Amino acid sequence: MNIGPHFLANNLFAAPMAGVTDRPFRRLCRQLGAGYAVSEMVTSRRDLWNSLKTSRRANHDGEPGPIAVQIAGTDAEMMAQAAAYNIDRGAQIIDINMGCPAKKVCNKWAGSALMRDEALALAIAQSVIAVCAPRDIPVTLKMRTGWSQSHKNAVALARAFESAGVQMLTVHGRTREQGYGGHAEYETIAAVKAAVRVPVVANGDIDSPQKARDVLAFSNADAVMIGRAAQGRPWIFREVAHFLATGTLLAPPLVAEVRRLLLDHLRDHYQLYGEFTGVRSARKHIGWYVKELPGAAAFRQRMNGIEECERQLHAVAEFFDELASGCDRMPAAPAAAAASPEQTVAVTQ
Ligand SMILES: Cc1cc2nc3c(=O)[nH]c(=O)nc-3n(C[C@H](O)[C@H](O)[C@H](O)COP(=O)(O)O)c2cc1C
Q: For 103-159, what is each residue's pLDDT tens digit?
A: 555 455 567 678 889 999 999 999 999 999 999 999 999 999 999 999 999 999 999
Number of H helices, E strands in the chain: 13, 12
Q: Is the pTM of this model over 0.85?
A: yes
Cα 208 to Cα 239: distance, rounded to the nearest angstrom: 8
- The closest of 147, 137, 144 to 169, measured between CA atoms, is 144
Q: Is residue 77 pLDDT above 60, yes or no?
A: yes
Q: What is the pLDDT of residues 245-279, one digit of tens each?
A: 999 999 999 999 999 999 999 999 999 999 999 99
Under 8 Å between Cβ of 226 and 202: no
Give the count of beta carbons closer than 10 Å to the beta carbon of residue 187. Answer: 12
Instruction: Report the Cα 189 to chain-centroid distance in Å.
Output: 18
Measured in Å, residue 100 CA sits from the centre of ligand 1 at 7
Amino acid identity, residue 99?
Answer: G
Nearest CA, atom 1, ligand 1: 17
Q: Is residue 5 pLDDT above 80, yes or no?
A: yes
Cα 172 to Cα 284: distance, rounded to the nearest angstrom: 24
Cα 110 to Cα 75: distance, rounded to the nearest angstrom: 9
228 lines ligand 1 (CB under 6 A): yes
Measured in Å, residue 236 CA sits from the centre of ligand 1 at 16
| Catalytic positions | 100
Q: What is the pLDDT of residues 25-64, one digit of tens each?
A: 999 999 999 999 999 888 788 888 778 887 788 788 888 8
Q: Which atom from ligand 1 is nearest to the alpha carbon of 15?
A: 17
Q: Which atom from ligand 1 is nearest to the alpha carbon of 184?
A: 25
Residue 343, helix vs strand vs coil: coil
Summary mean pLDDT of the chain = 91
Q: What is the pLDDT of residues 146-194, one digit of tens each?
A: 999 999 999 999 999 999 999 999 999 999 989 999 999 999 999 999 9
Q: Please state, in angstroms and as integers, the Cα–Cα distance from residue 54 to each residue in 63, 79, 93, 165, following that order.
A: 17, 15, 18, 27
Under 8 Å between Cβ of 212 and 1: no
